[in-house]
Structure 1
């Protein structure tokens, strides 16, 4: 029975990994975006988008290179940074303001439109639910396989004892 719990614990810990996005202000109206997984693996190939909070327009879009680090010029309008590493792996953060700051009239527009979220962020919950349901199904099937394997092993041992 201990082996079952150890296996379940190991399979859960192997399965669990999160996408991490670090955004650094370089002090020269550029930011550096670094993407990686919590396992230490680089997020090379993940999509970086800068989305306007004023009108929802995509201001910048590029995939992370092999080193999983990208330096980008800071837009003059309020924006959000989206790191999209695939289904269930999306992070959205507010953008860093340029040295001179954002214009006041743009800030007011953001308050009106602020309810708009990234499309990728809206679909994130659906993938999490599907993934969790699939994982539970796998655990149930694994439990059934152990049960029937144990039952058959006991039958074989009884036949060996009779012989």
Structure 2
């Protein structure tokens, strides 16, 4: 994907949920302990991408301290919780398998997540000379123009 030559922001004014999920490889030589955890995430993201009605708006992967992480953008908290607890989706099977393996793997691999509920008017973004990324990739982008040049303007607060 080539960089966008213009200055942009994301194109979404409503509420959203930002969900960070990652793993920490504590024992790199115990590949059989952490590789299944790593392999579980791509099929879940693919499932969610094929079914936008489930509520995930988009996801971006990155390498964080100790291992990979995924930033997910969700329509609302109810959709995130519904996916996490649904019996027929990939998440439930992956969570069950992780808990089963954790009994024998010990601390070889750790997992974590953080959830942020972001009300409308409390999120802003800026992108310049980068391809669609993060929230803009999830919900679309819009040019930064008059009245939206500064972060405070995009948030609707006095500068």
Normalised to the residue count of structure 2, the TM-score between the two structures is: 0.25
Q: Relative contact order (C-alpha < 8 Å, sep 6+): which is higher?
A: 2
Normalised to the residue count of structure 1, the TM-score between the two structures is: 0.25
